[in-house]
Amino acid sequence: MQNFVPNLSILQQQIDNLYSKIKGLKYNNTNAIMQTLSEAEHLSLQYPDNAEILVMQVHLQIMNSQEQKARAIAHHTWEIGGDLRTVFEKMYVSDLINLGMSEMAEILLRPHLENLQQGSRIFPLEMIRFALMTGNIDLLSRVAGTSPNNPLFSAILQFVRTYQSLKYTTCFANIQKLVIENCGNQICGYDFNCYTDRGFTDIEIVLYFSNYDFDLKQHQDAINNSINRYCSSIGTKRVYNLSFACKHIKDCQMF
């Protein structure tokens, strides 16, 4: 009896159709998320070692507010390895950041960081989110510097220069480290907002938690208290153009 070999063009079409469905999902549409997740799981049963299907499962589990399942699948995807098309590599890197898995995200981003001008065109927001999460002001500056006429990148450059002039870059790195130490194993989303209405740049880091996490204020208080203690311990005033917000994943607007 001959072994069955899947038609790769048919499989790719199935994967691409599923990806298109995911792109159209809203984080607050639980029924649609569950239906699409069921389709992804069914496809994964047929092709259990397909990394692109697994990447989509990671994303759907995040949307489904199941961050621990998402982490487990993300680790399994890593173990399987294999080449990913750019859109799936982008999704995987983004979700590794969402889950606080910055070391794995860094490994995938590293070759793109070596050619930053090109890499920042493919992974612009992923690179910025990674630089923020890891507190890497130098990387934040270099990524934003690839397109200084872009309003967002220009605002980020202003933020960087302010922190450099205040000699606050080490504090920035330590604050970001404290935040991840506080709740990095619990988050299922990591994003940022950039505001310039006060004449300078304010950055708000938005941390998303499971919809079943009913005490967001506890996370918010823990983050702010740890930052205040840190600043007090080194005799430095806290700079308030960097803030943190905690929300449920159903309120997320990211793809």
Alpha carbons 54 and 237: distance in angstroms, whole number: 45
Kindly state the average pLDDT of the residues 111-140: 96
pLDDT over 90 at 8, yes or no: no
Instruction: Give, for 189, the enclosing helix (H) or strand (E).
Output: strand 189-195
pLDDT of 144: 96
Q: Which fold has domain 155-251?
A: Alpha-Beta Plaits (3.30.70)
Residues whose CB falls within 8 Å of the CB of residue 110, separated by 6 or more in sequence, listed in order: none
Name the pLDDT band for 7 (thresholds 50, 70, 90).
low
Alpha helices in 24-168 (DSSP H): 30-46, 51-63, 67-80, 86-98, 102-114, 116-122, 124-134, 137-144, 151-165
pLDDT over 90 at 78, yes or no: yes
pLDDT of 75: 98
If you count them, how many residues does the chain have? 255
Contact 117, 153 (CB under 8 A): no
Tokens of 105: 């995200």
Other beta carbons less than 10 A from residue 4's beta carbon: 5
pTM of the complete model: 0.94
Place of tokens 């993300």: 74
pLDDT of 134: 97
Contact 86, 112 (CB under 8 A): no
How much of the chain is helix, strand and coil, in % rounded to 5? 65, 10, 25
pLDDT of 9: 86
Q: What are the extents of the domains in the chain?
A: 1-86, 155-251
* CA 131 to centroid of chain Cα atoms: 11
pLDDT of 255: 81
Q: What would the pLDDT profile of 86-102 be if each residue is shown by its tens digit?
A: 999 999 999 999 999 99
Return the sign of the alpha-carbon dihedral for residues 132, 133, 135, 139. Answer: negative
Q: What would the pLDDT profile of 118-129 be if each residue is shown by its tens digit?
A: 999 999 999 999
pLDDT of 225: 96
pLDDT of 34: 98
Q: What would the pLDDT profile of 35-51 be if each residue is shown by its tens digit?
A: 999 999 999 999 999 99
pLDDT of 6: 52
Q: What would the pLDDT profile of 199-242 be if each residue is shown by its tens digit?
A: 999 999 999 999 999 999 999 999 999 999 999 999 999 999 99
Tokens of 253: 């607007």
Radius of gyration of the chain (CA): 19
Q: What would the pLDDT profile of 163-197 be if each residue is shown by its tens digit?
A: 999 999 999 999 999 999 999 999 999 999 999 99
